[in-house]
Amino acid sequence: MQEAREIYQCQCSICSRSDEHPDKIVHRQMNVFVSRLNEQERRWFVAIESRARGYGGDSEMSEITGMHVETIRRGRRELDEDLAGRPEDRVRLPGGGRPSLKKTIQTSLTT
């Protein structure tokens, strides 16, 4: 079961003000949605939104979602390549991520 992720609070100038604005609702919903996606889905969704916003979209989406600008750029590059090389049945490429605890314990016992 996936653990609940914290919902990021948008840091843009619109959301920082106390008055209600329609974009404030959209930004909140966007962050709720992003909190339910895995890491590559988040990257791709935010990259699509960034591209739709045009020039400055990476910075704007970084402010809204809290994702690093380079992560958003990586998502755009992956989408430009039609997700070539990205596995369909897993989130990370083979060998990616943290080593399993079992491997870590075995390594520490043998040294």
- Structure confidence by residue, pLDDT tens digits, 20-63: 888 999 999 999 999 999 999 999 999 999 999 999 999 999 99
What's the pLDDT score for residue 103?
Answer: 65
pTM: 0.74
Flag whether 92 is in a domain.
Answer: no
What's the pLDDT score for residue 107?
Answer: 66
Centroid of chain to Cα 3: 16
Flag whether 100 is in a domain.
Answer: no
Flag whether 95 is in a domain.
Answer: no
Give the burial class of 64: count Cβ atoms within 10 A of its Cβ; 0-12 exposed, 13-18 middle, 19 or more buried: buried
Please give the tally of structural domains in the chain: 1
Is the per-residue pLDDT at 5 higher than 80?
no
Flag whether 11 is in a domain.
Answer: yes
Is the per-residue pLDDT at 19 higher than 90?
no
Residue closest to 10 by CA, chosen among 51, 49, 38: 49
Cβ atoms within 10 Å of 70's Cβ, excluding its own: 10
H runs (alpha helix) in the chain:
13-16, 22-35, 39-53, 57-65, 69-80, 101-110
Flag whether 99 is in a domain.
Answer: no
Flag whether 6 is in a domain.
Answer: yes
Structural domain range at position 56 = 1-85
Flag whether 103 is in a domain.
Answer: no
